[in-house]
Amino acid sequence: MHIKVPRDAKGSYNGAIKLNIDDPSIRDYEGMVQMNFNIWTQPSEAFERIFNLKEAKPITIEISSGPNYGYPYGQAMGANRKEPSFETTLVGPAGNVDIKAAKTVIKGMVNMGGQIPPWELDSKGIYQENGVQLIETFKVSGSPGEWKLKVLPNNTESLNTPYR
């Protein structure tokens, strides 16, 4: 089955393919293949968080992607995998602050059979990496006033940022 997705499509789409199974022992909905599609596009504008400091003190900012799941949840695995990343900007009372990640953590989840088809359980493919998460920590000297954090996430469907 091939589905042509229009370039301007967005949102969620649900449907079913009726298999035309002529068997009175199964319910009508059991003779269908249900399909759910979520059309997602990479954001082009950064998420912004504004916060204020009342006194000069160090600022620690931790930004993390939500876990990006692979098979069967939709992210390509292997050579076609796209790792999450962030384009991060911090603007302080005196203007842009040059920030670089002081710490980067890449976490993954490995499943040992729970989502692998039964015919694969005895093969060498028992280890299945099905999630990757990026965590970056930034540290800067803070001065009193308004600060603005801008984060443009890449290749992730969710983002965790400081609350305030």
Domain locations in the chain? 43-160
pLDDT, tens digit (0-9, with 9 covering 90-100), for 44-62:
999 999 999 999 999 999 9
Tokens of 131: 């999630």
Q: What is the pLDDT of residue 54?
A: 96
Q: Does domain 43-160 have CATH number 2.170.130?
A: no
In this prediction the pTM is: 0.70
**pLDDT tens digits, the chain, 164 residues: what are they?**
788 888 888 888 889 998 988 888 988 888 899 988 888 778 899 999 999 999 999 999 999 998 765 444 444 555 566 788 999 999 999 999 999 999 999 888 777 766 556 666 566 666 777 678 899 999 999 999 999 999 999 888 888 887 65
pLDDT, tens digit (0-9, with 9 covering 90-100), for 15-37:
999 898 888 898 888 889 998 88
Three-class DSSP category at 108: strand
Q: What is the DSSP letter of 27?
A: -
Distances (CA, A) of 148 to 14, 45, 119, 120: 39, 14, 52, 50
